[in-house]
Structures are given as structure tokens and as C-alpha cells.
Structure 1
């Protein structure tokens, strides 16, 4: 299936992800101005972002269940409103503790309603299984394009209007998600041989089936590592580069490179997941991450190595999303993908919480990011090994239905 033949719902989902995840990935460049404004250490802002990601994950399974029951449209509209309100309240906060509610809880809720789990769950119901990883890869790449577009824009807005004005501009941009969400129609599952078997299964049965599958828990473990990597780097890379006396624009450009190269990387890894074993492709991705991060922390940090790191880590940044969601769909089917992937995403966000918070905690304690950088190398290698023993064959229920 050509990408140009994907249903309209896929393209609406792409527009929502560009906005939602583009804004989210820019939060790292707000760390230093916000910390200076409230006269707090980096751990404070790190914890606010960590709380956002933890709550993002806590809300996600329940939001996924709601989307499976009532469709994605209402969920996305409610999430966009929560997202906008959280950004606006952050910009007007008088006390730093307010950020735990605004940037933490409200933005976390907004993200859980407007990001991958909800959009990919809707896409899974309108795209055939043999093209799912490709569609998931294209949709994932959308979030990366948002990162590429938003981060330089956020830097420019901060220069012109301060960090408060930049957040208010982002709050207004949430209306884009509302506009696209209004046109999202609740999709019915694609007619396939296994559809009757999926429709007869209850949510309780789907959860019992997944929890009894060893591979499902290995998928959880691997996605935990992805969350740890992504939020540590997105939150702390700008400060790490500033500590190396590099210009502020270097961090913005490095993160922009992460976004632009992830556009190609997400689609590439998704296509590879359609052609080859997803678990083997996932292991290869994590081995590449291991080498990239190890090289970055070993070599001297310059503007050139920062740009190269952004491009290299960007290529394998969110390629895990189409592969992980594709594995869950391949093993368990599309009916309860938003719920089952939502639970996996919760584990991802626990990793995100620890990556964002521990980065600030360790920096404030040791005065250096080196210990946390090397921990990401070890975790990447462990994740490469974790995916190898996953049994990625469809569960017997689906195998019998397709026989």
C-alpha cells in the first residue's frame, strides 16, 4: 500500500501528533530560563517534567480503554483542551509548585489523549495488518517533524517574548489539534479473517491473555529503556551542552536534528518491521543506540559532535514506537491495541519519569551528567538482548481464526 493511499484518518492523526509531540519535545530548552526565573535548581524543573511523563503514563491505559469504547474523537478534543490549559497556567504561574499541576498533571493528561497510543489505536483499525508497521512508522515520524519544526520556533519565541510568551503561543497552537480532532470519525475495525475472534473477546479476556504472555512483559521492559533514553536526552541535552560552554543555538539545532532524522528513521524502522522480524529489528535499533551514545560521551563535545549526535540518535529515536506497537498488534490483534499498547506505554513513561528526574538529581548531586550518560549505554545494550527471546507469533486465538 502506497503511503498516499492511507485513509484520511491517518493524515488527521499525523497533524495532531505534529502539534502535540512537537510542543512536548521542546520542553528541554525551557529548563534553564524557568529554573532561573523561580531561583530553583535543575531538579525542580526536571521533577515537573518527570511528573508530567509519569502521569502521562498513568492516564494512558484508562484513556486507551475509553478510546477503544467511545472512539478517538472525544478523547482528542478533551486532551487538547487540557494541554492548552496546562501550558497557559504554566506561563502565568507565580509559585514554582504550580508547575506540578499545570506542566505536570494537565499537560500529562493532554499528552495521553493526543499522542501515539490514541492515534495509533485509531490507525490500526483502518490499515491492514501487513501494512501496519509502515503506517505506524509514518505516523510516528509526524511527531518528529513537529520536533524539528517546534524547537527552533520555541527558541525564537523565547528570544522575542520570553519563556512565558512562548508557552502562551504553544497554548494557542493546541487549537490545531481541536480542529483536526473534530474531523476524526470513529473507525470500525478493518474486515479481516480474525475480526470475529477479536470482536468476541472481552477487555478482561484480552488483559488476561496479554498478562499471561512472557513476550508482553519483555516488550514492557524494552520500552521502559526507550522512555528513559528519550526523556533524559530531550530534557537534559540542552543543559549538558551549555555546561560545555557551547552556544544556546547548538542545543536547539541538535534537538532539531533529532527531529528531522527521526522522520526518516521512524519510517525506515517501520518498513523494516514489515519486511523482517520486528524483535530482531528492535535489537538492531538498540545496538545502534548503544554505539551512538557511547561514542558521544567518549568523544570531545563540540558543535560538530553535538550535531552528529542529534542526527544519529534521531535516526533511532522513536523507531521503537512502530516496532513496539506493531509487535503488540501482531501478537494480540487490533481490537484492544489502545488498551494493551497503553499499558506498555505506561511502562515507557515510568522510564521517562526516571530519565528526566534522575538526570537532574544526579547532576545536582555530582555536578556532572557523566554517570547518567553511561547508565543509558548499559540500558541500551540490555534492551537489545531483551527483545531476542520474544515469541512474536500471533496468539492461538488469532492463529485459529486465520487458519
Structure 2
């Protein structure tokens, strides 16, 4: 599956990028575990805290094309270093906050800007520009799996820290973890003195024209529509799964282990997604993933509310959780090349996080207005079916098959 990563330099770049994403995504995906203890400590209210996290969902997406554009022009090193430092600053400040506005700044802006700058668009973009073409699909799968492994590790560890040292101590521990990741930046971005590669492609019309051309491309816009749904699902579940578990009368550990299982299952899903994009059209891979989510959520709603229902639901959903990233990035690369991949994929991630903002925010409104998340689950099913359909018309050439007798 990963023969293309046998070169030592390719493997080092890929694993370092996966390590950074493990930390930035692991931290970010654990914030939902803080809602209940933070509310009990500050009295801010679940709706207020949910709004701050919803702002964070949008901010994380909004920073992606900006960070990608800076990385495309000046290199990824400064972007990644700045992101990790800002993420640590947001986590450090949060325990000192006692109102919604401050929380929107610390978690909604700072932590989200930091984690976004050290996330998919910059890491996959930097890796794609330093790796040979035959390694990019597998590398994107491994990098993506790093983010899933982060969720698997950070969710139960963070829950344990909250119970052992309180939510404030746990938040400070996350800040330390972000700073501890800084040594990996050099492995991904190269030496500090390395000049930015000069591109001499006669078809390179510049970043502004590349963006303008992409936004007129029907396939690119359809890709955005499907990825919007992915963001809605993920943000709603990662933010409000602890609340759903509490409504079912189950202990908080069920939520943390469910999030961990999602991350563990997505490691496998991401690795397979990275290999699938070299064998099948990515649009079909995406359509199958989104369609499976509609079926799985419908199954969850029909099952009894037990811990094993949550664990099985988490395992099934986790297989496609962020495994949508490799085929989505692959389509962007096929449509427009890798020169501005960090920027153009970053814009796709922005649409993902517009959906994420609505998923996190509307989930808070649903529990406040109706006392449960019923309508949100129905919306998840409808959006998943929509996403499965809109990916099918995307313009994508058939995958080239190797000639018989070649490897």
C-alpha cells in the first residue's frame, strides 16, 4: 500500500507532518470535553460555550486558505511555527476567561487560528511540493491518519487530565503539547535557510488568477458543497457527543472513548483512502463515504442508547471521519495541480468549516430549544445524502492503470 514512501526522505517528511497534525487535531478535537466542566466552573452556559466553539470551527476553516497562501509564497516553516505558538497561547489563556467574549477570543480565535495554521492545507501542501507525484496519495493518507491518531490519543488522555487535575490544568497541558511539537517543523518544511522553490511553469498565472479560475469551476464548487456536509457532521458530533451521551444517562467516559474510537477507526480509513485515490476515481470514493454516513446515522437512531451502541457507531463513523480529506485533496490537485494546492485546498476546507460552524452552533441551539439533538441527526442524514449525490458530476479523468508487468 505504501511502497511509494520507501524513500527515507519521503517517509521522514510524511511522518513529521503526521506528527504535527496528530497534536493540532488531537487538541482541537478534544475541546468538546471541556464544555460541561467549564460550564460548571464559570456558569457561562452551554449555548455560550457552544457559540465560542462554533466560532472556532469557522475560524479554523477561514485561516486555511490564508495560511496556505502564505505557505505557498514564503514557505511553510514560519506558518507552522506561528501556528503552534498561537495554539499554545489560546490554550494557556482559556482558564483565565470567565465570559463568552473572552472564550470566543481564546478558543474561538487564537486556538483555532493556531491549529488551522498547523493543519491539512499547509501540511499536505508542503508535503506535496517536496514529494514525488507517486508518493502524494499515500502520504496524504498517512498525514491524515496522524490527525486521527491524535484524536485517539488526546480524547481519553484529556478526559483523564480533566478528572485528575481539573479542566484548567488539562488545558495548560494541551498548551505544553503544542509547544513540544515545534522540533518537527524543520522535518516538514526543510532547512531554515532553504530558498522557496521557483516555479517556471508557463501556465502559472499567479495566485489571484488561480483562485479566480477555480471559483468558476463547477467541479470545484460541487466539491465544496460535499465538503460542507463533512464539516457539519464532524463539528456537531465532536462538540456535542458528550452532551448526547449525558442525555442517554451514560458516564462521561463513554463520550471520551467514543471520540477515541472514531480517531482509531479513522486511522485505518485514512490509510485506505490514501491508497484508494490511486486506484479509483476520488469522486466515487467520496460519494460512497457520504452515503455510508446517512445509513449509519439512521442505524444509530434506531438502536437502544447503550455504551456499545455509541462504540459501534463511533467505529463505523470513524472509518470515514476525516478519510474524506485525501480524495478531496486529490481532486483539487488533479483539477489545478500542486503549485497552489495549499491555497485552493484551504478554500475547500473553509467550506468544510462553514458547515462546521453551523453544526456546532445549531447543536447548541437544538439542546437549548428542544432539550435533545433529534433534529440535528435528521439534518445529518439529509446532508449526507445530498453530499453523496453532488460528488458524482465532478469532472475527473479515469485513474491511469499501470501496464501489465509493471509495478
Using the size of structure 2 for normalisation, the TM-score is 0.92
| Residue 169, structure 1, aligned to residue 173, structure 2 | yes
Match of 2:218 among 202, 214, 219: 214
User: CA, structure 1 residues 375+74, in 2 after alignment: closer, same or farther (shift >3 Å)?
Assistant: same
Cα distance in structure 1, aligned partners of 2:167 and 2:357:
23
Cα distance in structure 1, aligned partners of 2:372 and 2:357:
19
| Residue 3, structure 1, aligned to residue 5, structure 2 | yes
What are the within-5 Å matches in structure 2 for residues 140-159 of structure 1?
140-159=144-163
Spell out structure 1 runs of 4+ moving beyond 6 A.
187-191
Cα distance in structure 2, aligned partners of 1:128 and 1:376:
38
- For the Cα contact (< 8 Å) 1:55–1:109, is it kept in 2? yes
Cα distance in structure 1, aligned partners of 2:217 and 2:135:
24
Secondary structure of 1:246's counterpart equals coil
In the alignment, which residue of structure 2 is the partner of 1:77? 81
- For the Cα contact (< 8 Å) 1:198–1:333, is it kept in 2? no
Match of 1:291 among 292, 295, 299: 295
| Residue 376, structure 1, aligned to residue 389, structure 2 | no
- For the Cα contact (< 8 Å) 1:126–1:190, is it kept in 2? no
In the alignment, which residue of structure 1 is the partner of 2:404? none
- For the Cα contact (< 8 Å) 1:57–1:112, is it kept in 2? yes
Match of 2:366 among 362, 366, 379: 362
- For the Cα contact (< 8 Å) 2:229–2:384, is it kept in 1? yes
In the alignment, which residue of structure 2 is the partner of 1:118? 122
Query: Cα RMSD over matched residues?
Result: 1.9
Secondary structure of 1:274's counterpart equals coil
Match of 2:394 among 378, 390, 393: 390
Using the size of structure 1 for normalisation, the TM-score is 0.93
What are the within-5 Å matches in structure 2 for residues 196-345 of structure 1?
196-197=200-201, 200-345=204-349
Cα distance in structure 2, aligned partners of 1:310 and 1:198:
48
Cα distance in structure 2, aligned partners of 1:19 and 1:251:
20
Q: Which runs of 5+ in 2 are unaligned?
A: 399-407
Cα distance in structure 2, aligned partners of 1:188 and 1:223:
34
- For the Cα contact (< 8 Å) 2:262–2:318, is it kept in 1? yes
Alpha-carbon deviation of 1:196? 4.6
Alpha-carbon deviation of 1:183? 4.0
In the alignment, which residue of structure 2 is the partner of 1:129? 133
Alpha-carbon deviation of 1:184? 3.6
- For the Cα contact (< 8 Å) 2:227–2:352, is it kept in 1? yes
| Residue 109, structure 1, aligned to residue 119, structure 2 | no
What do residues 326-374 of structure 1 show as CA deviations (whole Å, max 9, x unaligned)? 1100111000001101111111110100000100111100111000011
- For the Cα contact (< 8 Å) 1:127–1:190, is it kept in 2? no
